[in-house]
Structure 1
Amino acid sequence: MANASDTLKEVESVLKEVIDNLSDGQKGFAQIGEHIKDEQLKRYFLAESLKRAQFRGELESELHRDGVHDIKNEGTASGSLHRVWGDLKAKVGVSDHELLATAEQGEDVAKKTYQDALEQELPATVRTLLTEQQRHIIASHDFVRNHRDATK
């Protein structure tokens, strides 16, 4: 049986991974929102960027309650590469469809990150918070996928 210190470290590790993914998503949604041509989608992506920041803040608050105050979240290396690729594609004038495809790839990673996190042993409050956020992430993925499909 794990002691409280080990459990806290595991929860911290899981939440930091989700926080890093949310940081990637926040930056990625903002970049795509700046480049996408469709005004409705532009507003959606910029709002979704703010939503990822909100989710990140909720998880960071959870860590602070547990006494973790040193939270560095620059995102992940793969997320940085994905954002640079998306930004490069946007600058060379790709279509909204291609930007949406890039966003959906990022959302696939977000869905997996939440799924992996929820497979871990977590306190009920953390599990509830992640489950609520996961519902939004899945809905966002489906919204992006449906708009990508509609722009073919």
Structure 2
Amino acid sequence: MKFTEEVAKKLNNLLEKNYDAEKGYQDAAERIENPAMKDFLQKQAEKRYDFGHEIKAEIKNYGEQPDKGGSAKGTVHRAWMDIKAFVASSSEEQVMEEVQRGEQSAINEYNEVISETSLPPSVQQILTKQRDQILKAQQSAKNFEVIS
């Protein structure tokens, strides 16, 4: 596999995770009554949409094509959230716990890709910035859990 294909593959994996996170945040925002939590979730969905566009641009910079749609793992994550919300009657605390869990998974995946020494510095910089914003979102979700 040539270098550009390898970079694009790694970026496409993160792109799919961002599609999944955007959808997950949108789904969670629909379940929440608390206006501050709803606003937080909607803003996070928008951020993930923006992250996706940044990653798409990088993939295209390498002459490769971005993938479309969400991953199977993300679909499973959303389905689990649907079941949990149904059983728990959309408990805001449980939704925010699930957000934290999803964000930790994203952080782990970003760290794995960022640690690749073969990534160009520009890509590492973009991914580090995104990862740091995900870390902030995870902490914000924890803070909501404490407040509620």
Asked if Structure 1 and Structure 2 have the same fold, meaning a TM-score greater than 0.5 normalized by the shorter chain, the answer is: yes
Matched, 1:17 2:8: no
Matches of 1:44 and 1:94, distance apart in 2: 16
User: Which SS does the other structure have where 2:2 is aligned?
Assistant: helix
Matched, 1:142 2:135: no
Match of 1:54 in 2: 50
Matches of 2:124 and 2:73, distance apart in 1: 26
Runs of 4+ displaced beyond 6 Å: none
Q: Confirm or deny: 8 A CA contact 1:32 1:90 kept in the other structure.
A: no
Matches of 2:141 and 2:35, distance apart in 1: 14
Return the letter of the residue paired with 2:72. Answer: A
Match of 2:76 in 1: 81
Within the candidate set 21, 28, 38, 2:24 is matched to 28
Within the candidate set 109, 122, 136, 1:125 is matched to 122
CA-CA distance at 1:87 after TM superposition: 2.2
Any stretches of 5+ residues in structure 1 without a counterpart?
A: none
Match of 1:113 in 2: 109
CA-CA distance at 1:10 after TM superposition: 1.6
Q: Confirm or deny: 8 A CA contact 1:30 1:49 kept in the other structure.
A: yes
CA-CA distance at 1:141 after TM superposition: 0.8
How far does the alpha carbon of each residue in 1:5-63 deviate from its partner, in whole angstroms, 9 at most, with x for none? 62212211110111111111000000001101211110110111011010000110111
TM norm structure 1: 0.89
Match of 2:94 in 1: 98
Return the letter of the residue paired with 2:20. Answer: D
How far does the alpha carbon of each residue in 1:110-148 deviate from its partner, in whole angstroms, 9 at most, with x for none? 101110110112111111111111110110111112222
CA-CA distance at 1:106 after TM superposition: 0.6
**Percent identity among equivalent residues?**
26
Question: Over aligned residue pairs, what C-alpha RMSD do you find?
Answer: 1.4
CA-CA distance at 1:95 after TM superposition: 1.0
Matches of 1:114 and 1:146, distance apart in 2: 22
TM norm structure 2: 0.92
Matches of 1:77 and 1:137, distance apart in 2: 21
